[in-house]
Structure 1
Amino acid sequence: MAMTRRLLGLFSVLAIMVAVVWGDPSGGCDQDRQDMIRECKRYEGWPAEPKIEPSEACCAVWQRANIPCLCAGVTKEKEKVWCMEKVVYVANFCKKPFQPGYQCGSYTVPHPA
């Protein structure tokens, strides 16, 4: 019984260490996601037009957000809410642009015309 408790304790410590060192890909950017919804949704939702200049608060979220983590969580369902063309527009406006060819969800950022 004591050995089982020690092993469970050891596994718990290891799991925490792994989460701290490598991060938790499923929940590592929950606060960024909530901030993005709160501050940027009105600028990044459908329809694709018109494109509206985002607020300073939205740009502040873009500047500090873990964009690769957010993009990893973009699903087809979320792409029905978020217009990826507008997301790219906001990223450019906020001076944290995506590189052409970058994949965010199923959307690939186009090369400039």
Structure 2
Amino acid sequence: MAKLLLGLLLALAILGTTSAGGCVQDAEDMKRECKQFELFPANPKLPPSAACCAVWKRADVPCLCKYVNKEVEKVWCMEKVVYVANYCKRPFQPGYKCGSYTVPLSM
């Protein structure tokens, strides 16, 4: 699991510091502050910490979602990611695609 997360961060780092620069820091911050609330299993869903919500409020979510793939989705529970985003008052729009995951029309 750690290899997959490291791979995601490495891929972002390789892209450079121009458009992906914020993504690298956001990915590191998300891993540090939110992983305990967003990893499998899907239940229980726990309210995230204030530090995790602070990351969500400033993260470049569209940039992060570009790098979500099937391997990432094996580690990060996208259902929990959507839950945390909603809890932190930065919800995904229904139908939004983050990697190959599509946010359900009703949660």
State whether TM-score is above 0.5.
Answer: yes
**Which residue of the other structure, out of 54, 60, 70, is the alignment partner of 1:76?**
70
The one-character-per-residue Cα deviations of 1:39-95 (angstroms, maximum 9, x if unpaired) are: 000000000000000000000000000000000010111101100000000000000
1:62 aligns with 2:56: yes
Where structure 1 has 5 or more consecutive residues not aligned to the other structure, the ranges are 1-18
After TM superposition, which residue ranges in structure 1, 4 or more long, deviate above 4 angstroms? Answer: none
Instruction: Say what the alpha-carbon RMSD is for the aligned residues.
Output: 1.6
Q: Which residues of 2 match residues 19-38 of structure 1 at below 5 A?
A: 23-25=18-20, 27-38=21-32
Where structure 2 has 5 or more consecutive residues not aligned to the other structure, the ranges are 1-15
Q: Percent identity?
A: 67
State the one-letter code of the partner of 1:49. N
TM-score by length of 2: 0.81
Looking at structure 2, the residues matched to 59 and 108 of structure 1 have their Cα atoms a distance apart, in angstroms, of 22
Looking at structure 1, the residues matched to 104 and 51 of structure 2 have their Cα atoms a distance apart, in angstroms, of 26
